[in-house]
Structure 1
Amino acid sequence: MSLANHLEELQRKHGDIERALDEAMLHPSVDDLEIVTLKRRKLALKDEIEKLRAQPTQH
């Protein structure tokens, strides 16, 4: 998988988690632990995306 494809996939997953988090926060019945878990997963993906973007391009 190319770097660009990998970044696209990570960004898609980040967006999916963001939408799930927004949905979960609209429902008061959702467990706080689930919200924290989603936030951690979203942050981990963001960190991985930023790390990949910071890598020098390899030719």
Structure 2
Amino acid sequence: MTIASHLQELRRKHEHLSDMVEREQRSPGADALRIAELKKQKLKLKEEMTRLQQA
């Protein structure tokens, strides 16, 4: 897998997590722990993308 294709996959996953966070936040009785976990996952992906772009 090339770096470019790996970055593309990471971006796709990041966007999917963004959608999930948005849906969770809009739902009544949103689970704050679930939202926090999704945000942590997004941050990890963002850090990995940044690391790969600087390589």
Cα RMSD over matched residues? 0.6
Deviant stretches of 4+, over 2 Å: none
DSSP 3-state at the match of 1:30: coil
Cα distance in structure 2, aligned partners of 1:14 and 1:21: 11
Count of residue pairs brought into register by the alignment: 55
What is the deviation of 1:30?
2.1
What is the CA deviation profile of residues 2-57 of structure 1, one whole-angstrom value per residue up to 9, with x for unaligned ones? 111000000000000000001110013121100000000000000000000000xx
Q: TM-score, normalised by structure 1?
A: 0.89
Q: Which has the higher helix share?
A: 2
Q: Which has the larger radius of gyration?
A: 1
List gaps (5 residues or longer) in structure 2: none
1:52 — aligned with what? 52
Percent identity (aligned): 38
List gaps (5 residues or longer) in structure 1: none
Q: TM-score, normalised by structure 2?
A: 0.95
Give the counterpart letter for 2:50 in structure 1: E
